[in-house]
Amino acid sequence: MTKTTSGQQAQPPQREQPELSGHTGAWGAVRVAPLHGETTLSYMSRVASRYRLTAKELIGALVDVGRRPNLFTVRPDGEVVFNAEARAVVTAFCRMSEEHLHHALPAWSREVPSSRLGSGPAAWVRTAATIPPTGPGCRACTARATQGRDTARRYLPPHARVCVKHQCWMLEAPVVDGATVGPGQLNLRHVPQIAAAQRRHARLLRRCPHAAEAFTTAQAILASWWDEPWPEETIWPDRLRLMAAGNGLARRTAARDAVTYPEAVTLAAALADTGVQQRLLDEAGRHQPHSLADVPHLVDELAQRLERPWIAGRLSVVTTGPLNAWVRACVRTRAGHKPKTRSMWRVSPPHRPTSVSQLLAESSDRGGTPVQPEPAPLPDSAEDAAQGFARGLRHARAYAAEHGHLCAPNTVRVDGFAVGLWLANQRAAGPELAPERAAALDTLDPWWNPPWNLWWQRIYHRAKALAQTGQPLTPERGFPGTTENLGTWLYEQCTSYSSLHPGQQRLLAELGITQERARGAAPRRRNLKAARRTAVDHARAYGNEHGHLCAPTSARQNGFPIGKWLHSQRVRARRGQLDPALDQALTDIDSRWNPPWPTDWQREHHIAHAAVASGSLLDPEAGFRNFDDLTGQWLYTQCINYTALQPGQQHLLAHLGLTKPLAATAVPNPATRHPAMETGLHYARTWAAEHGTLDLSRTTHHAGFPLGRWLVRQRHQANLHRELFDTPWPHEEALARIDPYWNPPWGMKWQRRYQAARAQLTPDHALAPNKGFPGTPDWTGQWLYNQCTVYDKLHPHQQQLLADLGLTAQSARTAQPRRIPQAAAFTAGLAHAQAWAAQHGHLTVTGDTRHDGYPLGTWLAHQRKRAARGRLPEDRAQALAALDPWWNPPWTPRWQQAFRTARTHTTGRPLATTTDLDALPTVTSKWLFTQCASYDSLDHEQRQLLAGMGLTAERARALAPPPKPPQPSRPARPRLKNSPSSIAVGLPYARSWAAQHGNLTSAGYRTEHDGFPLGWWLYKQRRAAYTHLKRTGQPWPHHDHLAALDPWWNPPWRATWNHSWHQAHAHHSTAQSFPNNTTKWIRTQQRTWEQLHPHQQHLMGTIGIHSPTPLCRYNSHPANLTDQPTDLINTNKTNAEQETRSPQARPGPTRKQHQASRQHTPHRRTQPAN
């Protein structure tokens, strides 16, 4: 081992290399000529052997730059590539002209990437997997050229494998552990057909442009036949025996390409023949062949050219493989009409044959130990893909066992597995699917991947299932006994029988529909009179159930599309094409089945009529709150547009009790969740009358109505309509009459800032743009200057609005920027801070705090941010500290704000016991208990502040609540993957819950009862009831089953309201104190009493809340303040329409109010109630 000095790196011992690098004119001592077709690495190895060096040592010496060779692992079956500088060095050293080396060595002038060393001669090594096939050259030719000294490796193109002079076949022999595996070459003296095939191959390459691609496809086809156990095949075994006798060869692997070479050339010539391709297209027609049996003429021609007549019978049953894939690609690309088509020559990876070199490496054995070559990189997901296919095949087998086929839609799932989507992915692979996988699917269903549409196959299976039940399919009689759709489809197949795929004709023949019977097929005739009678019967049934015939188009009656049928009859009646008898029959069922106004209006009228008939009181002055949301909005809309209605519509409304004088008193309901356009316009007019504009924020509410959110939706609808259509939005004019700039094209942000600037300016204020807008607030002056800089780019209406302020185009050109010195800005903010501190004694304010209109909270937050970044001058920090030493504490401002609030509440009060803390407001009390619990983690300054208000360390530890005991872990129960949502499955659990609790609305969304997700199931039933009512206008069919258990199971408000009510009712019925959260909930209901549903108000009355009452009525031990028994709380019967239509909006969030007395938290000491 050599020793290294400091700063040097140890190198393995190497031979002494000649000083050759860096001199392009350095000549070697020996002149070595290359062999034709030799690899560059083989040539460099032969040159290096003359100097008793290895190829790596010689190349490293020639391309060494700065004593750092950029050459790595070198394998004899690889290749080396030189850049231009390195080629010049090698040419000079070998004493050969570069033209000679370029002509002899195929990889000599291959393009290479730039040098990693920046410049200079460099070499790159390529492995055997990245270069064309190579192998040992002909031994006799190599010995003659090198005088028997060396061996050489050369490139082996398919048309140059045979050495005609010495009658040998050169193999792709791999190199394992430095030695060549296999014989290297095969003797062809007893097989002259192979040399003759090479001559034919050369002629084919000269004459056909796609001969190389066709030969690759032919090799893949013959490789797939090589391992087939065909007893009729005798030519290949005889040829293999003759080659083995001359070489003593005991393996079939090395001789595969040589034995099949003559047939490969013949098959390549057939595949590349445009005449064969055109005859294939003519034979296939416009159909995609499913198997080779669909193109028998092609199979016969190939059998004839290969001199194997028996192979036609073998190929006719093949549905996979490279030949079948080529036939499909040829037909798909119409290759006969496109001579330059190349896509049909692509061989998919599953059909590519294993190379002979890999087969030799895998089958080699030295000393009884198998020698494996360097493994080729495989995808990491190969094993997962195999397992996934096995899983999918298992579920496909289960589906085929149940249905008899594999034509499953994409949405079909078997045991939670998407078998339909999996089969679609296998079909998408098509010819590229591995043969063994395709064969596994063929065993389940031969037509799992038909060359026609899959829907055809599904309908065929329906006809096959009908035939298997014993129902004969008689085309001559119009297929009686079949459904209308199936009979029509069968007749269509008969009329187009000659244009069907041969496979489709064979399948129809299995049903007894041959070509002869198809010619005599009769169309399926529909009995129009019977169909009309059936439709009228369904219409009569619908009218008896719903009371009218104004059904939506999606309505169905016992599976019959009654909505679509009635719509088509109305269209025919308006065109004057309806039979009078049918018109009279429908009129007898419903006299207004075809009104002159929209049927949607008539349907809403029937819903309102049913509500009035059930006892709902018309109360236009209260916004129709006795009706459900949609019906109330519809009634208000009719009141607003009463004079524009037709006389017939006014007559129908008068039957409801809604006359013209009564309609004039209607007011909208602000608590609606689906406001009509008239409702929004009403509140928009009242807002504009008060404020003058409609540029309000999104969160603005007006008289309880979310006007801001409503206007945002209208602007979105208007802009979307403007993008999609050329006509204006229908409601654009109504809103423009209220405010012309309700939806300006420049956006609401600019409009709001304009209105804010206008509000800051007095009518007689002179802007003076040339002086920087003096006398205006800071942001107003800056905004006005910004408008001046882009005045010419503004919208003409924007310029007009600015002109109303006195800012014209001429004055805008002379505008000067408003420069406010930073010191002046700080002085202004400090003055407001001084005034605030003088009034409150501190500077602990929230971010939205304003003092005399000045944003003091934002200004102080900005100063804190500058101080945290070290950019606040010391004198300014001292000025703020003089006002409040804790204006910028090291903890969060929220803690400081909570401390100030607690200090205000505790002034003059002792903090010795938990009773003292309980007497404080809830927020302060909780915050102080939190500080006691985390006292040790507070900063020293925070502890001093708490001590200043009387909360010392001893008291804090004494008042700290005990730690919560650890909660016992609940065993995890596996959730249901597909929870049942049908009414029959969950009804027994609902009965059990109602028997135990007396209601259903106390079950939350996550409630489980006996392992069943009852809360989720009830949510699904409410959704189903709402969807059914919205679609049909009638109550849900299963409503009575659940209403018998709990009349309020689906109230016309949110179900969560009932959860809170049940908690309050449980405490009220047992005369217990209300918890804190229940008390807050009751306060919320009192504040929003006018927005509650009448039935909600009644339920509140059952717990003693009849109206906004003093807190003492229900804060402590409540008594039954109503004489109604508690068991009658759920006996109010309401209209089914109201119970299942969309609920009202929840009362909006309101500001929480502090309460004079609260329920104690669990960690506090129990004390008597106030």
What backbone torsions phi and psi does residue 312 show, to the nearest 5 degrees? -65, -40
1151: pLDDT strictly greater than 50: no
Cα 554–Cα 558–Cα 563 angle in degrees, nearest 5: 25
Per-residue tokens: 378: 């495989």
Cα gap 419→391, rounded to integer Å: 10
Kindly state the tokens that stand for 33. Answer: 């000529």
Confidence of residue 1168 (pLDDT cuts 50, 70, 90): very low
Burial of 1156 (0-12, 13-18, 19+ CB in 10 A): exposed
Please give the backbone phi and psi of residue 810, each rounded to the nearest 5 degrees, phi first.
Answer: -70, -45
Is the pLDDT at 569 greater than 90? The verdict is yes
Q: What are 77-115's pLDDT values in tens digits?
A: 888 888 888 888 888 888 888 889 888 899 888 766 555
Tracing tokens 């129809």 back to the chain, one arrives at 508
**For residue 699, what pLDDT band results from cuts at 50, 70 and 90?**
confident
Residue 145 near residue 33, CB atoms below 8 Å: yes
Amino acid 733: pLDDT:
92
pLDDT at 182: 67
Q: Which helix (DSSP H) or strand (DSSP E) does residue 1058 occupy?
A: helix 1055-1069
What is the phi-psi region of residue 307: left when phi exceeds 0, alpha when psi lies from -120 to 50, beta otherwise? Answer: left
Answer yes or no: is pLDDT of 159 > 80: yes
Does residue 486 surpass a pLDDT of 60? yes
Is the predicted pLDDT of residue 74 greater than 80, yes or no? Answer: no
Does residue 955 or residue 360 have the better pLDDT? 955
Bridge partners (DSSP) of residue 369 are 366
What DSSP line would sit under 620-658, residue for residue?
Answer: GGGTSTTS-HHHHHHHHHHHHTGGGS-HHHHHHHHHHT-
R_g of the chain computed on alpha carbons: 46
Instruction: Return the closest-CA partner of residue 638 out of 679, 610, 674.
Output: 679
Cβ atoms of residues 119 and 63 within 8 Å: no
Query: Looking at residue 64, what is its pLDDT?
Result: 60
pLDDT at 549: 93
Identify which has the larger pLDDT, 822 or 227: 227
The separation between the first and the last C-alpha atoms of the chain, rounded to the nearest angstrom, is 96
Which residues sit opposite 154 in a β-bridge?
38, 135
CB atoms within 10 A of CB 368: 5
What is the pLDDT confidence band of residue 456, given thresholds at 50, 70 and 90? very high
The whole-angstrom separation of Cα 571 and Cα 574 is: 5
Tell me which range, 49-58, 379-388, 396-405, 1059-1068, is most confidently predicted by mean pLDDT. 396-405
Res. 1124 pLDDT band, cuts 50 70 90: very low
b/e map of 594-621 (b: 16 or more CB within 10 Å)?
bbeeebebbbbbbbbbbbbeeebebbbe
Task: Specify the pLDDT at position 1033.
Answer: 74
What's the confidence (pLDDT) of residue 680? Answer: 92
- pLDDT, averaged across the chain: 81
Question: Up-side HSE of residue 172: CA atoms within 13 Å toward CB?
Answer: 24
φ, ψ (nearest 5 deg) of residue 340: -95, 15
Q: Read out DSSP for 759-809?
A: HHS-TT----GGGT-TTS-HHHHHHHHHHHHTGGGS-HHHHHHHHHTT--H
Whole-number pLDDT of residue 362: 67
Q: 277: which residues sit within 8 A by CB, 6+ positions away? A: 330, 335, 336
Tell me the per-residue pLDDT of 927-983, one tens digit each, with 9 for 90 and over: 888 888 888 888 888 888 888 888 888 888 888 888 777 766 655 544 444 455 678
Cβ atoms within 10 Å of 97's Cβ, excluding its own: 10
User: Residue 245 pLDDT more than 80?
Assistant: no
The mean per-residue pLDDT over the stretch 515-532 comes to 83
Cα–Cα dist 694/712, whole Å = 11
Residue-wise pLDDT tens digits, 789-831 = 999 999 999 999 999 888 888 888 888 887 666 677 788 889 8
The model's pLDDT over 999-1049, given as tens digits with 9 standing for 90+, comes to 888 888 788 888 788 888 888 888 888 888 877 777 888 888 888 888 888
Count of CA atoms in the C-beta half-sphere (13 A) of 83 = 18
96 vs 180, more confident: 96
Task: Please give the distance of CA 573 from its chain centroid, rounded to a whole number.
Answer: 46
Across the range 576-601, mean pLDDT stands at 92
Q: Which residues pair with 169 in a beta bridge?
A: 162, 186
Residue 454 CA to residue 412 CA, distance in Å, equals: 14
Q: Rounded to an integer, what distance in angstroms lies between the CA atom of residue 45 and that of residue 90? A: 12
Instruction: Determine the length of the chain.
Output: 1170
Q: Looking at residue 196, what is its pLDDT?
A: 92
Residue 449: how many CB atoms within 10 A of its CB? Answer: 24
Q: How far, in Å, CA of 506 to CA of 537, rounded? A: 43
Check if the beta carbon of residue 500 is closer than 8 Å to that of residue 507.
no
Which residue has better confidence, 88 or 182? Answer: 88
**pLDDT tens across 877-929, in order?**
999 999 999 899 998 889 988 998 888 888 888 888 888 888 888 888 888 88
CB 841 within 8 A of CB 900: no
Q: Torsion angle of alpha carbons 407, 413, 414, 417, nearest 10°?
A: 120
Q: What is the mean pLDDT of residues 735-743?
A: 92
Rounded Cα distance, 830 and 833, in Å: 5
What is the predicted pLDDT for the residue at 457?
92
User: pLDDT, tens digit, for every residue of 974-992?
Assistant: 444 445 567 878 888 889 8
DSSP 1091: G
Identify the residue with better confidence: 88 or 11. Answer: 88
Q: What percent of the chain has pLDDT over 70?
A: 85
Could you give the 3-state DSSP secondary structure of residue 893?
helix
Q: Is the pLDDT of residue 525 over 80?
A: no
Q: Tell me the C-alpha distance between 406 and 444, whole Å.
A: 8
* Rounded CA separation 541/527 (Å): 21
Judged against a pLDDT cut of 60, whether residue 1110 lies above it is answered with no
Q: Are 502 and 287 contacting, i.e. CB atoms less than 8 angstroms apart?
A: yes
183-192, 247-256, 682-691: the lowest-pLDDT one: 247-256
For residue 260, give the DSSP letter: T
Report yes or no: 126 and 78 within 8 Å, Cβ to Cβ. yes
Tokens describing residue 1162:
């669990």
Of all residues in the chain, the percent with pLDDT exceeding 90 is 23
Give the span between the Cα atoms of 563 and 551, in whole angstroms.
Answer: 5
Q: Is the pLDDT of residue 566 over 80?
A: yes
Q: Coil, strand, or helix at residue 482?
A: coil
| Mean pLDDT, residues 766-777 taken together | 79
DSSP assignment letter at 135? E
pLDDT (tens digit per residue) in 297-326: 999 999 999 999 999 888 888 878 889 888
Cα separation, 424 vs 407, in Å, equals 9
Instruction: Encode pLDDT of 142-151 as tens digits.
Output: 888 888 777 8
CA distance linking residue 482 with residue 474, whole number of Å = 10
Sign (positive/negative) of CA torsion 349, 350, 353, 356? Answer: positive
Confidence label for 363 from pLDDT (cuts 50, 70 and 90): low
CA pair distance 812, 604, nearest whole angstrom: 57
List the single range of 3-12, 437-446, 612-621 with lowest mean pLDDT.
3-12
Judged by average pLDDT, the poorest of 327-336, 494-503, 1067-1076 is 327-336
- Residue 1129's pLDDT is 33
Residues 6 or more apart whose Cβ sits within 8 Å of residue 572 = 578
Q: How confident is the model at residue 129 (pLDDT cuts 50, 70, 90)?
A: confident
Domain ranges (residues) in the chain = 13-153, 179-365, 383-444, 462-519, 594-674, 675-743, 748-813, 826-888, 890-963, 980-1046, 1051-1170
- Which residue in 251, 244, 250 sits closest to 186, CA to CA? 244
